[in-house]
Amino acid sequence: MTKSIGKLYGIGLGSGDPELLTLKALRLLQSAPVVAYPVSDGGKSLSRSIVAGYLRAEQVEVPLWYPFKLNQSSQPFYDKAAETISAHLEAGQDVVVLCEGDPFFYGTFMYLYTRLCDRYPTEVVPGVSCVMAHAAVLGTPLTYRNDVFMVLPAILPAEVLAERLAVADAAVILKLGHHFSKVYEVLQKLGLAERANYIERATMPNQRIVPISEVDPKTVPYFALISIPSQWQPTD
- Looking at residue 60, what DSSP letter applies? E
Q: Which stretch binds ligand SAM (CB under 6 A): 28-36, 71-79, 156-164, 174-182?
A: 174-182
Q: Are 172 and 227 in contact (CB under 8 A)?
A: yes
Q: Are 120 and 8 in contact (CB under 8 A)?
A: yes
Nearest to 6 by CA among 120, 99, 119, 112: 120
Q: Is 130 in the site for ligand SAM (CB under 6 A)?
A: yes
Rounded-to-integer distance, Cα 165 and Cα 152, Å:
9
Q: Are strands 197-200 and 208-209 parallel, antiparallel or unpaired?
A: antiparallel
Q: Is 107 in the site for ligand SAM (CB under 6 A)?
A: yes
Q: Which stretch binds ligand SAM (CB under 6 A): 21-29, 126-134, 158-166, 190-198?
A: 126-134
Q: Is 169 in the site for ligand SAM (CB under 6 A)?
A: no
Among 10, 38, 101, 126, the residue binding ligand SAM under the rule CB under 6 A is: 101
Q: Are 196 and 226 in contact (CB under 8 A)?
A: yes
Rounded-to-integer distance, Cα 174 and Cα 162, Å:
15
Q: Is 47 in the site for ligand SAM (CB under 6 A)?
A: no
Q: Is 202 in the site for ligand SAM (CB under 6 A)?
A: yes
Q: Which stretch binds ligand SAM (CB under 6 A): 49-57, 71-79, 141-149, 216-224?
A: 216-224
Q: How far is the CB of 34 from ligand SAM (least distance, A)?
A: 21
Q: Is 199 in the site for ligand SAM (CB under 6 A)?
A: yes
Write the CA distances from 152 to 116, 127, 164, integer angstroms.
28, 19, 8
Q: Is 183 in the site for ligand SAM (CB under 6 A)?
A: no
Q: Is 13 in the site for ligand SAM (CB under 6 A)?
A: no
Q: Which stretch binds ligand SAM (CB under 6 A): 37-45, 53-61, 115-123, 200-208?
A: 200-208
Within 10 Å of residue 113's Cβ, how many Cβ atoms?
A: 19
Quick one: 92 or 141, whose CB is closer to ligand SAM?
Answer: 141
